Amino acid sequence: MTASSSIPGPKGGLKLGLSLRDNGPATLTELYETYGDMVGFSIGRRHIVLLNKPEYAYHVFAGAAQKYGKSSGAKKVKSLLGEGLLTSEGEVWKKSRALIQPLFVNSEIRRQVPLIQDVLAEVSGRWCAAPGEGAGASAQANVIDLHKEMMRVTLTVAARALFSADLDEHVDVFRDSFGVAFEHVVKRLHALFDLPPEIFPTPANLKFRRAVRQLDAIVERILENRRSAGGCPAGEGNDLLGSLLHAASGDAGGALLSEKQLRDEILTLILGGYDTSANALTWAFYLLSQHPEVLAKVRAEADPIFAGGAVDADAVKRLECSQMVFEETMRLYPPVWVLARQANADDEIGGHPIAAGTMMLVSPFVLHRLRNIWNDPLVFRPERFRSEERVIQPRFSYIPFGGGQRHCLGRLMALQEGTLAIAYLAHTFDLEPVDPREPAFNASITLAPRGGMPVRVKRRERGRGAGPTLPARAMASC
Ligand code: HEM
* Ligand 1, atom nearest to 402 Cα: 10
Output the ligand 1 site: residues, CB below 6 A.
85-86, 97, 158, 268-269, 272-273, 276-277, 280, 330, 335-336, 339, 400-402, 406, 408-410, 413-414
Torsion sign (Cα): 467, 472, 475, 478: positive
For residue 417, the model assigns a pLDDT of 98
pLDDT tens string for the chain (478 positions)? Answer: 444 468 999 987 889 989 998 999 999 999 999 999 999 999 888 899 999 999 999 999 999 999 999 987 777 889 899 999 999 999 999 999 999 999 899 998 999 999 999 999 999 888 877 454 455 544 444 899 999 999 999 999 999 999 988 887 888 899 899 889 888 888 887 776 666 677 788 888 899 999 999 999 999 989 988 888 776 554 555 788 888 888 887 765 667 788 899 999 999 999 888 999 999 999 999 999 999 999 999 999 999 999 988 899 999 999 999 999 999 999 999 999 999 999 999 999 999 999 999 999 999 999 999 999 999 999 999 999 998 877 778 999 999 999 999 999 999 999 999 999 999 999 999 999 999 999 999 998 899 999 999 999 999 876 543 443 444 344 333 3
Q: Which of the 8 DSSP states describes residue 403?
A: -
Q: Which of the 8 DSSP states describes residue 359?
A: E
- Residue 33 identity: E
134 Cα–ligand 1 center, Å: 32
For residue 38, the model assigns a pLDDT of 98
pTM over 0.85: yes
266 Cα–ligand 1 center, Å: 14
Q: Which of 51, 92, 155, 408 to probe ligand 1 with, by most ligand atoms within 8 A of CB? A: 408
Q: Whose CA is nearest to atom 30 of ligand 1?
A: 273
408 Cα–ligand 1 center, Å: 4
Provide CB contacts within 8 A for 439, sequence distance 6+.
Answer: 286, 449, 450, 451, 453
Torsion sign (Cα): 288, 162, 77, 97: negative
Q: Which of 60, 276, 416 to probe ligand 1 with, by most ligand atoms within 8 A of CB? A: 276
**Residue 238, number of CB atoms within 10 A of its CB:** 17
Q: Which of 97, 333, 409 to probe ligand 1 with, by most ligand atoms within 8 A of CB? A: 409
For residue 190, the model assigns a pLDDT of 72
**Alpha-carbon span 149 to 120, nearest angstrom:** 10
* Ligand 1, atom nearest to 335 Cα: 5
